[in-house]
Each structure stands twice: as C-alpha cells, then as structure tokens.
Amino acid sequence: MAEHTQRLQDSRVFVAGHRGLVGSAIVRRLEKVGCRNLLFRSRGELDLCDQSAVDEFFREHRPEFVFLAAAKVGGILANATRPAEFLHDNLAIQTNVIHAAWAHGARKLLFLGSSCIYPKLAPQPIKEEYLLTGPLEATNEAYAIAKIAGLKLAAAYHAQYGFSAISLMPTNLYGPGDNFDLQTSHVLPAMIRRFHEAKISGSPSVTLWGTGTPRREFLHVDDLADAACFLMENYDSPDLLNVGVGEDLTIADVAALVARIVGYSGRIVFDSSRPDGTPRKLLDVSRIHALGWHAQIPLEQGIASTYEWYVAHAAERVSAYQR
C-alpha cells in the first residue's frame, strides 16, 4: 500500500462530482487503497450551487479531506452558447465548497482546474507561471475565467486563513467513464467511437477534422486520481501544479494508434478544410516530477482499457445520451 494513502484511509473524505470522469476515478483509487469513510452525494441529493445546502452538508458530515471534482464541463459549442451557465455554476460550486470546507474545519481541499486556463498563445511546454500572462482562448473563456477565480480563491484561503487548499491543472484526460457523445466529446473518446462504429459497419474510411498535425498530450484519468491522492498527502502550497505526462504526439499518430487498438483497418482521411485548433498544448510537468510523482499508464495500454470499457458500456451510454 502506498505511503501517501495512509492518512486518507482513516479519514472522512468527500468526493464532490463522484459520478464524473475524474470523480469516479478518485473514488476507485480511494476504494482500492481501503478508504473506509467516503462521502458522496449525487447532484439530485446535493446541488453544489445551493449555498445553504452545501453549508448544511458540511456542518452535518464534517469531511476532513475534500476532492472538488464537480464542475460544469463542456465542449466548444456548450461554452459558446451557454457562457452564463459556465460562469455562474462553476463560480457557485467552487465558492460554496471551498468556503464550507474551510468554515467547517476540513483539513485539506483539492481543487481541479484545467489546462485551458492558460493563455491561448502560451509558450510550450506550458509552465505554471504563464498563468495570466496573455489573452485566453475565446471559445472557452467563461469556463477558464471561472476556473482561474477558483484557483485564486483556493490560494487566497490558503494565504489569509492558512487553509490547506491546493490546485491541480490536469492536461487532456481520458479513461473509463469518458463522454463518448460525438456532439460533446473530446478528441480521443470521439476517435474510439468513430473507429469502432466504422469497424462494425465496414466503412472503408473515417474522416477526421483538420490536418492531423496539431500535437496533444493525454493523461489517463487513473493516473490523475493517483496524482490527486499523492498530492493530497504530500503537497501544501497555494502554488498551482500542472499534472500531465510531459509528452505529446500528433493527432495523426493518435488516430493511427486508436485505429490499431480498435482493429479498424480502413483509411484515415484528414479534412484540412476543417479547423485544427491550437497547434500544440503540452504542460511542463517538471514541478510535479520534482515532488516525486510521474504518470504510470502508457498511452497504448490506457487506450486499450478505455476501449474495453467503451465496448462493455456502449449500449447503455448511447441510450443515456438519447434520453
């Protein structure tokens, strides 16, 4: 059993957003190391936008450690059409949870941001100190502004009240529990689904957006959960920390890898009339490496297990999205 999980094991631990990609991975990780006192509530049971309900929950249950993995998350379309919701809900969730955790005596809180908080044209790889050094990507500005406010709030509670609130900035995540809805999913789960469906239907080719040349970094969500538990035990600073693998690859290479794992042998066509997005997005992970944490799950292995999960859950996921 890992050294860093011992304090969590015997404590009351609240995982906010436990049904999501990140929250469910944190729960798996905590259960695996024998955490006996896990607290979670579905959104129906506890709406984290509701300040008095959040306060009441913390007053009653007094969690000692809080993983804040609940957020309103979405793709470009959702961000562009519903910016008020992205700003409001994320500001409300993080303000309510951070404040209640501090007010009711939690020992530590971990807040999750995202690499989209960094300036659109940040030099690569992106160091933590590039935060607020340039304009944001316009398509997810509302979400990024809320997340920046969240990590500044955590840092302010750390500075003013000595509350141990820490902030992680994960790179692109993937893994079991991912969103495979083609309207809203990220690139990797979208590829898994499209190659799988093309294999089943016998399509001779799959067309992907863009040139295939942009470079992206992918972290398995179980690695993020491992980092989150490690840092909950071993890190106590208001300075945010990037979490990634420190390596990236081209979209064309990812596509070839996914096609091979899925067993799709048709052609992969890139439609260069479609937008590429930013040419490169790679986090500098030297700070977290210096603390002794490294990602463990190789991309090929991670995609293979995610594909297995997708095949096992495809029918139920698709019907859930159609409801």
Which residues would be at the binding site for ligand NAP (CB under 6 A)? 17, 19-23, 43, 47-49, 69-73, 89, 93, 112, 114, 170, 172-173, 186
Select 35 or 283, whichever has its Cβ closest to ligand NAP. 283
- Least distance in angstroms from the C-beta of 195 to ligand NAP: 20
Select 89 or 222, whichever has its Cβ closest to ligand NAP. 89
* 87 Ramachandran zone, left/alpha/beta (phi>0; psi -120 to 50): alpha
Select 12 or 281, whichever has its Cβ closest to ligand NAP. 281
Select 30 or 198, whichever has its Cβ closest to ligand NAP. 30
Which of 118, 143, 264, 310 is an active site residue? 143
**Residue nearest ligand NAP by beta-carbon distance:** 20
Residue type, 146: A
- Least distance in angstroms from the C-beta of 173 to ligand NAP: 4
- Least distance in angstroms from the C-beta of 3 to ligand NAP: 25
DSSP strand pairing (108-112 vs 165-170): parallel
- Least distance in angstroms from the C-beta of 259 to ligand NAP: 21
Query: From CA 97, how far away is CA 225, in angstroms rounded?
Result: 20
- Give the CA count within 13 Å in the CB-facing half-sphere of 252: 11
Active site residue 143: yes
Query: From CA 308, how far away is CA 306, in angstroms rounded?
Result: 5
Query: From CA 35, how far away is CA 32, in angstroms rounded?
Result: 8
Select 5 or 172, whichever has its Cβ closest to ligand NAP. 172
- Least distance in angstroms from the C-beta of 70 to ligand NAP: 4
The total of other beta-carbon atoms located within 10 Å of residue 265's CB is 11
Query: From CA 288, how far away is CA 292, in angstroms rounded?
Result: 7
| Structural contact between residues 95 and 158, judged by C-beta atoms closer than 8 angstroms | no
DSSP strand pairing (249-250 vs 215-216): antiparallel
Per-residue tokens: 290: 């210096």
Q: Which residues are catalytic?
A: 143
